Amino acid sequence: MSNEPVGVIGLGAIGGGVARSLVNAGLVVHGCDLNPDAMAKFVDAGGHAADRPATVGKAARVVFLFVINAGQARTVLFGDTGLAEAMPSDGIVISCVTMAPSEAAAIGEELGAKGIRMIDAPTSGGAANAAAGKTKFMAAGAPEAIEGAMFALQAAADTVYRVGDDIGQGSAVKVVHQLLAGVHISAAMEAMALGMKMNIEPGALYDVVTGCAGNSWMFENRVPHVLDGDYTPLSSVEIFVKDLGLVLDAGKQERFPLPVAAAAHQQFLAASAAGYGLEDDAAVIKVYADLAGLKLPEGKD
């Protein structure tokens, strides 16, 4: 394990978990986030607070980037007090941002023009796995860049998948992954709502499905949010409005039909329109509950 410092910009559910995993692995970690609560949790875990992206870039050669979209990534990297101008010439940005492959490639080019290498490495595994050092990275980039940052990736990783040498290939794999993730969440909530409409006890239905062939990782992970009546956003409805939008954009670009993904996207849009956009993505079930007059389980005090 290297003893060189690492940076993390974006300390939300996933980025914060990764940052804590890096600290737990014995690394010195410099972090930055606009949310003071996220910063406080990071500092309490042993991290070093930075007031702006440039401060992180001056402190660490390898920096993880966990923001919402390509626009935020550009602001962090190239805006005032941005990361890129402060990083050393051998700096490596590990972009864990879900964005269009073309956007990732363009950002990689701009960083390359400044002598900074980029690893296009979206993630999977959720907040709990991030905090436990079990994130899965879909990494694309020059082999020497990935090897140069492997000490940091492995400190946070369950698995580092090497999906290609070109920036944008990691984002392309993530787009395909999010097609499945979004469809599985939407299908899981549709199935649970149908079961409730048929007067099946929700906990019993969960036990059957998770023990049988109809199960999916998303069903097993998200349905407990419904059973607990807890829609605290670990991944919000709006995230899947965005991510399935990227999926559909990729389909348009490739002239490839995506009818199942389009149907799932409509359900997330419906949930957003109904006012559930900032709730956990399992809140898609509330659309069905509103339509069918279902009473969902309530949270425990």
Best CA proximity match to 65, nearest among 4, 109, 24, 78: 78
What distances in angstroms separate CA 166 from CA 102, 143, 175, 226, 253, one per listed residue? 11, 10, 16, 40, 19
Q: Is the dihedral of CA 263, 264, 265, 268 positive or negative?
A: positive
Question: d(Cα 247, Cα 259) in Å, to the nearest integer?
Answer: 11
CB 170, CB 104: distance < 8 Å: yes
- 282's CB contacts (< 8 A; 6+ apart) are 185, 189, 222, 223, 225, 226, 231
Give φ, ψ of 22 to 5 degrees: -65, -40
Best CA proximity match to 79, nearest among 32, 137, 14: 32
Is residue 286 part of the annotated active site? The answer reads no
Question: d(Cα 18, Cα 60) in Å, to the nearest integer?
Answer: 16
* Annotated active-site residue in 41, 58, 134, 174: 174
- DSSP type of residue 212: S
What tokens does 4 get? 């060189």
Q: Kindly list the catalytic residues.
A: 174
